[in-house]
Amino acid sequence: MSALADVIAAACLLAGAALCLTAGLGLVRFPDVLSRMHAGTKPQVLGVLLVMVGAAIRLDGWANAWMLLLVAAFQLLTAPVSAHLISRVAYRRRHVRRDLLLVDEFGGAGHQDLRHRGDEPGDAPPGSPRPSAGQSS
């Protein structure tokens, strides 16, 4: 029983570590921010889940298992939020290779709201007073 648990834990840890190496390779090889983020998000969800399962099998005891489950749940909750923020800023700062995009639903010329482009303070219409206008100009 213990040997079988050790084998399962070792398999989970190896898969998680291989996903970490995959993330590094993708970060170096891929061309722009969005595809690098696609590569870097692999250990953020599946890799961390596999490593936490392996560690929870090895560290027997419910207190450790609950705390590792907390780490995994927190990763699952926070990875989409940070990825959304980074990709939105990357699109607007033109760090996206537009020649590699198949569909660009966000930048079509036809259906674009010219008055309110987003919810940032810099996205206000040009005539309206901005909170940071007095400081920067």
Burial level of 136, CB count in 10 A (0-12/13-18/19+)? exposed
86 is a contact residue toward another protein (CB under 8 A): yes
Please give the radius of gyration of the chain, using alpha carbons only, rounded to the nearest integer: 22
115 is a contact residue toward another protein (CB under 8 A): no
* Rounded least distance, CB 125 to another protein, Å: 11
Q: Which of 1, 116, 122, 129 binds another protein (CB under 8 A)?
A: 122
Instruction: Give the separation between CA 42 and CA 44, rounded to whole angstroms.
Output: 5
* Rounded least distance, CB 22 to another protein, Å: 7
98 is a contact residue toward another protein (CB under 8 A): yes
- Which residues ranging from 31 to 50 are in contact with another protein (CB under 8 A)? 31-33, 36-37, 40, 43-44, 47-48
Burial level of 52, CB count in 10 A (0-12/13-18/19+)? buried
Position 92: which residue type? R
103 is a contact residue toward another protein (CB under 8 A): no
- Which residues ranging from 11 to 30 are in contact with another protein (CB under 8 A)? 13-14, 16-18, 20-25, 27-28
Burial level of 4, CB count in 10 A (0-12/13-18/19+)? exposed
Distances (CA, A) of 105 to 37, 73, 118: 19, 31, 15
- Which residue ranges make up the site for another protein (CB under 8 A)? 9-10, 13-14, 16-18, 20-25, 27-28, 31-33, 36-37, 40, 43-44, 47-48, 51-52, 54-55, 57-59, 61, 63-64, 67-68, 70-71, 74-75, 78, 81-82, 85-86, 88-99, 107, 109, 112, 114, 117, 120-123, 126, 136-137
